[in-house]
Amino acid sequence: MPQGSVLSQTYDLIKGASFSSTDGWDYWVRDEKNYEVSLKQENVNRDSFDELSDAELEILDGVLLEFGNMKNFDIVKYTHDHCAEWENPNGSSYPIKPETIFRTLGKNEDVVNGLVHHNNTQHQLDSVINQLR
Protein backbone atom coordinates (compact mmCIF):
# COMPACT_ATOMS: atom_id res chain seq x y z
CA MET A 1 0.00 0.00 0.00
CA PRO A 2 1.38 3.40 -0.89
CA GLN A 3 0.30 4.78 2.50
CA GLY A 4 1.09 1.54 4.38
CA SER A 5 2.11 -0.59 5.73
CA VAL A 6 -1.02 -1.70 7.53
CA LEU A 7 -2.47 -5.11 8.23
CA SER A 8 -5.01 -5.94 5.53
CA GLN A 9 -7.68 -7.04 8.01
CA THR A 10 -7.25 -3.82 9.99
CA TYR A 11 -7.49 -1.78 6.80
CA ASP A 12 -10.70 -3.61 5.85
CA LEU A 13 -12.16 -2.87 9.29
CA ILE A 14 -11.27 0.82 9.01
CA LYS A 15 -12.94 1.01 5.58
CA GLY A 16 -16.02 -0.84 6.87
CA ALA A 17 -15.38 -3.62 4.35
CA SER A 18 -15.28 -6.29 7.04
CA PHE A 19 -17.42 -7.18 10.03
CA SER A 20 -16.16 -8.03 13.49
CA SER A 21 -17.60 -10.01 16.37
CA THR A 22 -20.07 -8.26 18.67
CA ASP A 23 -17.30 -7.46 21.14
CA GLY A 24 -14.64 -6.78 18.50
CA TRP A 25 -13.67 -3.80 16.38
CA ASP A 26 -17.19 -2.36 15.99
CA TYR A 27 -17.70 -2.42 19.76
CA TRP A 28 -14.41 -0.71 20.59
CA VAL A 29 -13.47 1.49 17.64
CA ARG A 30 -15.15 4.50 16.05
CA ASP A 31 -14.20 5.06 12.44
CA GLU A 32 -13.36 8.64 11.62
CA LYS A 33 -12.63 10.53 8.42
CA ASN A 34 -9.29 10.21 6.64
CA TYR A 35 -8.53 6.77 8.07
CA GLU A 36 -8.38 8.02 11.64
CA VAL A 37 -10.01 6.00 14.38
CA SER A 38 -10.78 6.59 18.04
CA LEU A 39 -11.88 4.58 21.03
CA LYS A 40 -15.66 4.30 21.12
CA GLN A 41 -16.02 3.07 24.70
CA GLU A 42 -15.68 5.43 27.64
CA ASN A 43 -14.83 4.70 31.26
CA VAL A 44 -12.65 1.72 30.47
CA ASN A 45 -10.44 0.11 33.09
CA ARG A 46 -8.15 -2.91 33.40
CA ASP A 47 -11.15 -5.27 33.63
CA SER A 48 -12.39 -3.96 30.28
CA PHE A 49 -9.39 -5.64 28.68
CA ASP A 50 -9.65 -9.00 30.42
CA GLU A 51 -8.65 -10.90 27.26
CA LEU A 52 -5.31 -9.07 27.07
CA SER A 53 -2.34 -9.97 29.23
CA ASP A 54 -0.45 -7.38 31.27
CA ALA A 55 2.45 -7.72 28.80
CA GLU A 56 0.13 -6.98 25.85
CA LEU A 57 -1.29 -3.94 27.63
CA GLU A 58 2.25 -2.69 28.33
CA ILE A 59 3.01 -2.96 24.61
CA LEU A 60 -0.15 -1.02 23.76
CA ASP A 61 0.75 1.64 26.34
CA GLY A 62 4.21 1.97 24.76
CA VAL A 63 2.75 2.31 21.27
CA LEU A 64 0.31 4.96 22.49
CA LEU A 65 3.09 6.85 24.27
CA GLU A 66 5.36 6.85 21.22
CA PHE A 67 2.82 7.32 18.43
CA GLY A 68 -0.43 8.52 20.04
CA ASN A 69 0.11 12.19 19.25
CA MET A 70 1.06 11.66 15.61
CA LYS A 71 -1.34 12.49 12.82
CA ASN A 72 -2.06 9.66 10.38
CA PHE A 73 0.25 10.88 7.63
CA ASP A 74 3.04 11.51 10.17
CA ILE A 75 2.78 7.80 10.97
CA VAL A 76 2.95 7.00 7.25
CA LYS A 77 6.17 9.01 6.94
CA TYR A 78 7.59 7.37 10.06
CA THR A 79 6.92 3.84 8.82
CA HIS A 80 8.37 4.63 5.39
CA ASP A 81 11.50 6.12 6.96
CA HIS A 82 12.02 3.63 9.81
CA CYS A 83 10.51 0.27 8.80
CA ALA A 84 12.95 -1.41 6.44
CA GLU A 85 10.44 -4.11 5.50
CA TRP A 86 8.21 -1.56 3.73
CA GLU A 87 8.80 -1.20 0.00
CA ASN A 88 6.88 1.11 -2.30
CA PRO A 89 4.24 -1.04 -4.04
CA ASN A 90 3.76 1.59 -6.78
CA GLY A 91 0.05 2.11 -6.21
CA SER A 92 -0.75 -1.48 -5.32
CA SER A 93 -0.22 -3.64 -2.26
CA TYR A 94 1.45 -6.88 -1.44
CA PRO A 95 2.02 -8.83 1.75
CA ILE A 96 5.16 -8.41 3.80
CA LYS A 97 6.45 -11.89 4.47
CA PRO A 98 7.36 -12.79 8.06
CA GLU A 99 10.86 -13.77 6.97
CA THR A 100 11.37 -10.26 5.58
CA ILE A 101 10.50 -8.80 8.98
CA PHE A 102 12.81 -11.23 10.78
CA ARG A 103 15.69 -10.36 8.44
CA THR A 104 15.18 -6.61 8.87
CA LEU A 105 15.36 -7.22 12.62
CA GLY A 106 18.83 -8.66 12.06
CA LYS A 107 18.05 -12.35 12.55
CA ASN A 108 20.41 -14.84 10.88
CA GLU A 109 19.06 -17.37 8.37
CA ASP A 110 18.92 -20.24 10.89
CA VAL A 111 16.82 -18.13 13.25
CA VAL A 112 14.68 -16.86 10.35
CA ASN A 113 13.96 -20.43 9.22
CA GLY A 114 13.12 -21.51 12.77
CA LEU A 115 10.77 -18.58 13.28
CA VAL A 116 9.06 -19.16 9.94
CA HIS A 117 8.57 -22.83 10.81
CA HIS A 118 7.16 -21.90 14.24
CA ASN A 119 4.87 -19.30 12.64
CA ASN A 120 3.57 -21.84 10.10
CA THR A 121 2.96 -24.39 12.87
CA GLN A 122 0.99 -21.81 14.87
CA HIS A 123 -1.16 -20.99 11.83
CA GLN A 124 -1.91 -24.68 11.32
CA LEU A 125 -2.86 -25.09 14.98
CA ASP A 126 -5.08 -22.00 14.81
CA SER A 127 -6.80 -23.43 11.74
CA VAL A 128 -7.49 -26.75 13.48
CA ILE A 129 -8.79 -25.02 16.61
CA ASN A 130 -11.08 -22.76 14.56
CA GLN A 131 -12.52 -25.80 12.76
CA LEU A 132 -13.34 -27.37 16.13
CA ARG A 133 -15.32 -24.34 17.31
DSSP, res 11: H
Q: What is the pLDDT of residues 72-105, one digit of tens each?
A: 789 889 989 998 888 888 888 888 999 999 999 9
Q: What is the pLDDT of residues 49-63, one digit of tens each?
A: 898 999 999 999 999
State if pTM tops 0.95: no
Would you list the domain boundaries of the chain? Answer: 1-94, 97-133
Q: Cis link prior to 5 (omega < 30° from 0)?
A: yes
Burial class (CB in 10 A: 0-12, 13-18, 19+), 80: middle
CB-based contacts of 35: which residues, under 8 Å, 6+ apart? Answer: 3, 14, 72
In order of 6, 60, 65, 121, the CA distances from 35 in angstroms are 11, 19, 20, 34
Q: What is the rounded average pLDDT for all residues in the chain?
A: 88
